[in-house]
Structure 1
Amino acid sequence: MVIAAVYFVIAVFGAVAFARVLDRQMEGPRLRAAWAGRTAEARCTGVRTEEVQDVEGVPVSLTHPTLQFRTDTGRIVAFEERQRQLDVAYGDVVTVYYDADAPEEATARVPSFMPRRARELVVGLGCAFALVTAVVLAGVL
């Protein structure tokens, strides 16, 4: 029984640690702050193309648009969008989301479920798995 309890505690801490790393990797804190803030219309002022290889070694072209917008306070901010799927051309206008305290961390990504809730889902599933396996382990011992 003690081994199962120790396993459960370690597994829960592991799930929480993994969820925090995954959340940072998916830029969750930055995106949630931007989505909770304000919106503005941004114009594409340039597009940088980058040639990379995917996991199978196939060449892929990635585009990174530079977007410029004006904050509520009148400050002009330009940033390069980190999202690869954003397909805009020079002069196009898109909606951006930004935190008033850090407008340079803006994003044109539309709010979505996974970046908002990935951390909670991973912790919940990890804890449920830890509980089930701890109960099985306690029954076996």
Structure 2
Amino acid sequence: MVVAAVYFVVAMGAAVMFGRNLDRQLQGPRLRAAWAEGLTAEARCISLRTEEVQSPEGGPVLYTHPTLEFRTGDGRAVSFEERRSRLTPAKGDFVTVHYSAANPEGATTRAPSFGMRHARTVITGVGAVFAAISAVVIAVVA
């Protein structure tokens, strides 16, 4: 029973840490901050930067990162490079961005989604369920 309890505590800690790290890697805090206030603006693509990286198979993969410029509600001009979007506008195109008044440079073109808003909670919850089931099995078998 002690082994199962120790396992449960360690597995829960791992689930929480994995959820937190995945959330940071997916830029969850920045995206949630940009979506929280509900502020949007029309941004114009002012330039495109192409980056070539190597795929896991060894072949080249091209990523295009648009630099977008928009005006905040108080008239301040802000430009930022969108790195984590599937959106690839042409130079001069307009797109909708979501931003927070406190950090407009953290804007994003990504629309709010359930998965990104709750990724940390879902991952941690699935890990908790797995930890609980595993701990029960260990307790019964031991």
TM-score band w.r.t. shorter chain: over 0.9
TM-score normalised per structure 2? 0.96
Paired positions, count: 141
- For 1:26, the aligned partner's letter is L
For structure 2, list consecutive stretches of 5 or more residues without a partner in the other structure. none
Cα distance in 1 for partners of 2:130, 2:121 equals: 14
More strand by share: 1
CA distance in 1 between partners of 2:84 and 2:4 (Å): 43
CA distance in 2, matches of 1:66, 1:49: 11
Kindly state the Cα deviation for residue 3 of structure 1 after the two structures are TM-superposed: 1.2
Question: Is the counterpart of residue 8 in structure 1 residue 8 in structure 2?
Answer: yes
Structure 1 stretches of at least 4 aligned residues deviating more than 2 Å after TM superposition: none
**TM-score, normalising length: structure 1:** 0.96
- Any stretches of 5+ residues in structure 1 without a counterpart? none
- One-letter amino acid of the structure 2 residue matched with residue 31 of structure 1: L
Q: How many Å separate the matches in 1 of 2:2 and 2:23?
A: 32
Distance 2:72 2:123 in 1: 35
Measured after TM superposition, the shift of residue 9 of structure 1 is 1.0
C-alpha distance in structure 2 between counterparts of 1:113 and 1:47, whole Å:
29
> Which position in structure 2 is the counterpart of 1:51?
52
Distance in 1 between residues matched to 2:83 and 2:112, nearest whole Å:
15
Structure 2 match to 1:133? 134
| Partners of 1:19 and 1:122 within 8 A in 2 | yes
Q: CA RMSD, aligned part only?
A: 0.9
Does the CA contact (< 8 Å) of 1:44 and 1:68 recur in 2?
A: yes
Give distance in 1, aligned partners of 2:32 and 2:65.
Answer: 21
Counterpart contact for 1:44–1:92, Cα < 8 Å:
yes
